[in-house]
């Protein structure tokens, strides 16, 4: 598990996103549901044919983006 760097209000933090939890140095581990958001993604056909009639599907996924981690750190600092 590798840590990523993020700067919030001039202070550097390190965090990692695991399968079920997010860990930010200096804080306890927290579940992904507490930080991330359900986001919609489109599936795309990978055949490469420009006239492909493959129906794209929309699926949802719990995703944690750096902006989510930044907002969570700010909420814990207050």
> For the whole model, what pTM was predicted?
0.78
Domain boundaries, the chain: 4-77
pLDDT tens, position by position, 18-63: 999 999 999 999 999 999 999 988 777 777 676 676 767 778 899 9
Q: What's the rounded mean pLDDT across residues 9-26?
A: 96
pLDDT tens, position by position, 61-74: 999 999 999 999 99
Q: What distance in Å separates the CA atoms of residue 76 and residue 56, rounded to the nearest whole number?
A: 39
What's the pLDDT at 77? 78
- CA distances (Å), origin 28, targets 21, 24, 43, 55, 72: 10, 7, 35, 43, 12
């Amino acid at each position: 598990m590798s840590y990523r760097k993020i700067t919030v209000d001039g202070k550097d933090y390190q965090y990692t996103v695991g399968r079920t939890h997010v860990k930010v140095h200096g804080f306890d581990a927290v579940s992904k549901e507490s930080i991330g958001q359900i986001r919609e993604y489109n599936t795309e056909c990978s055949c490469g044919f420009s006239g492909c009639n493959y129906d794209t599907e929309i699926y949802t996924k719990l995703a944690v983006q750096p902006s989510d981690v930044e907002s969570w750190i700010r909420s814990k600092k207050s």
